[in-house]
Amino acid sequence: MILRLRSLLLAAALTGAVALSTLAAGAAGAEEVYWSGSRLLPVYSVGRDDNAISITFDCAWGVEHTDAILEALGEANVTATFFCVQFWAEEHPDYLKKISEAGHEIGTHSATHPKMSELSEEAVKTELTTSARAITEVTGRQVTLFRPPFGDYNNTVIETSLALGMMPIQWDVDSLDWKDLSAKEIAERVTSKVQSGSIILCHNNGLNTAEALPVILDTLRARGYTFVPVGELIYREHYTVDHTGRQFAAPEG
C-alpha cells in the first residue's frame, strides 16, 4: 500500500514533465546501432500498429528488490519477460521458480555474462545451451529467447542463437534503472520513449524500479498500450529486421 501510494504521488508529478519530454523522444538505443549490409541484428523493437509493448528484466545480481517488482507486476496483471544468467539462476532457484510460477516468460542472459562477441562459435553455443538447460531444470519450460550481456553481439552470436532456436532480443527503451536513478527519473525515461512494439529494459534488482513500475504501467495503459511478453510481441518466422533492429512481418506473397 505504501509503495502504491508513493507511486500515485509520483504519477501526479510526472504528468506535466512527461507531456513535454514525449515531444522530443526517440527510441533509446536503436539509433546507436552500428549497421552495414552484412551485419546481423537482434530484435530491438517490433513494427506493430496495435500498441502492444513488452517490459523486460535482466537478472544477474541480487534479489533484494525482486519481490516488490513481482508484486507490482501482479497487481497490474502484467506478464513480463525475465532474462536470467545461469549463475544467478543457480544461486536463486527459488526466485527463478517464483518468477516462472507467476506466469512470466523466461529467457537466457547467458551462462557467465561475458562479452559474447569475443567468444568463439563453440563458446557461444556453450553459453546458451548450458544456461537454457539450467533454467529448464527449474522451470520445466523451454527457453526460446536470448539477450546478450552488455548488449554486445556480432554475426556469430546472432547466427548461433537463431540456430539454437533462441531469438536474440535487445531493447529500444532503456530505463537505466541500474544507475540507481530515482523512481521519477526511471518513469520519465520509459514513458517518454515508448512506441508501439517497444521493448523496455529494466533489471530485477534495480533500487527504485519497483516504485517506478506502477507509474509506468498505469501511464502507458492510459495511453492505450497493452503489455505482452516478448514471445508474443515478436514474429517467429517470415520477418525482416531493418537497420535499426526493428522487426517487421514479411510482406505476404
Q: pTM (2 decimals)?
A: 0.87
CA 198 to each of CA 49, 120, 157, 165, 225: distance values in angstroms, whole numbers, following the listed order? 11, 31, 22, 22, 10
Report the pLDDT value the prediction gives residue 38, as an integer from 0 to 100: 73
Q: Does 205 fall in a domain?
A: yes
Report the pLDDT value the prediction gives residue 251, as an integer from 0 to 100: 83
Helix-, strand-, coil-residue percentages of the chain, each rounded to 5: 45, 15, 40
Distance of CA 247 to the CA centre of its chain: 15
Report the pLDDT value the prediction gives residue 6, as an integer from 0 to 100: 53
Look up residue 8 and give its amino acid: L
Distance of CA 107 to the CA centre of its chain: 10
What residues are paired with 227 via a beta bridge? Answer: 53
C-alpha–C-alpha distance, residues 19 and 230, integer Å: 27
pLDDT in tens for each of the 253 residues of the chain?
545 545 544 554 454 443 433 333 333 333 333 334 578 999 999 999 999 999 999 999 999 999 999 999 999 999 999 999 999 999 999 999 999 999 999 999 999 999 999 999 999 999 999 999 999 999 999 999 999 999 999 999 999 999 999 999 999 999 999 999 999 999 999 999 999 999 999 999 999 999 999 999 999 999 999 999 999 999 999 999 999 999 999 887 6
Q: Does 236 fall in a domain?
A: no
- Smallest Cα–Cα separation from 183: which of 1, 64, 12, 30? 12
Report the pLDDT value the prediction gives residue 4, as an integer from 0 to 100: 52
Query: Residue 69: is it exposed, middle or buried by C-beta count within 10 angstroms (0-12/13-18/19+)?
Result: buried
Catalytic residue among 49, 58, 67, 104: 58
Q: Does 210 fall in a domain?
A: yes
For the question of residue 174 being annotated catalytic, the response is: no
Report the pLDDT value the prediction gives residue 164, as an integer from 0 to 100: 98
Q: Does 8 fall in a domain?
A: yes
3 state DSSP class of 53: strand
Range of the domain at 141: 2-13+45-224
Residues 17-63 pLDDT 10s: 434 333 333 333 333 333 345 789 999 999 999 999 999 999 999 99
Q: Does 253 fall in a domain?
A: no
In this structure, are residues 200 and 194 in contact, taking their beta carbons and an 8 Å threshold?
yes
CATH (domain of 80): 3.20.20.370
Dihedral (Cα; 215, 220, 223, 226), 10-degree rounding: -140
CA 67 to each of CA 23, 63, 211, 224, 233: distance values in angstroms, whole numbers, following the listed order? 34, 8, 12, 27, 25
C-alpha–C-alpha distance, residues 101 and 240, integer Å: 33
Q: Does 244 fall in a domain?
A: no
What is the domain count for the chain? 1
Q: Does 233 fall in a domain?
A: no
Q: Does 33 fall in a domain?
A: no
For the question of residue 238 being annotated catalytic, the response is: no
Catalytic residue among 65, 92, 109, 203: 203
